[in-house]
Amino acid sequence: MSETKERCIELLTNNSINLDSEIDFNVNSEIYVLSFAFIVESFMQASEESQLAFLAALEKALLSKEDGAEKFFESMGQLLLMTHLSKEIIV
């Protein structure tokens, strides 16, 4: 496990955030469910620079306290879904 991924998991655990928490996304009446763990894992497959940007954004979100983590994972999940769904579009 990378040091960045370990730090992300540690931050979430220290802030009593369950990695198994899930967010539902409704895309054209189709429901997609992504767990926090899946979102972290997906971003940890990116470049080291992207991993560090993810970690920095997560740290900032956790500092805001009020719904910061949930909004963060909602945004990151939307980004993952947009990327995934755009790859499925046939031109």
| Tens-binned pLDDT, residue by residue, of the chain (91 aa) | 789 999 999 999 999 999 999 999 998 898 999 999 999 999 999 999 999 999 999 999 999 877 889 999 999 999 999 887 777 665 5
Q: Write down the pTM of the prediction.
A: 0.88
Under a CB-based contact definition with an 8 Å cutoff, are residues 48 and 55 in contact? no
Give the list of residues 6+ apart from residue 78 with CB closer than 8 angstroms, or none: 25
In degrees and rounded to multiples of 5, residue 82 shows phi and psi of -60, -40
Sign of the four-CA dihedral 73, 22, 17, 10: negative
Q: In 34-67, where does DSSP find H-type helix?
A: 36-43, 48-63
Q: Look up residue 20 and give its amino acid.
A: D
- Identify the pLDDT of residue 52: 96
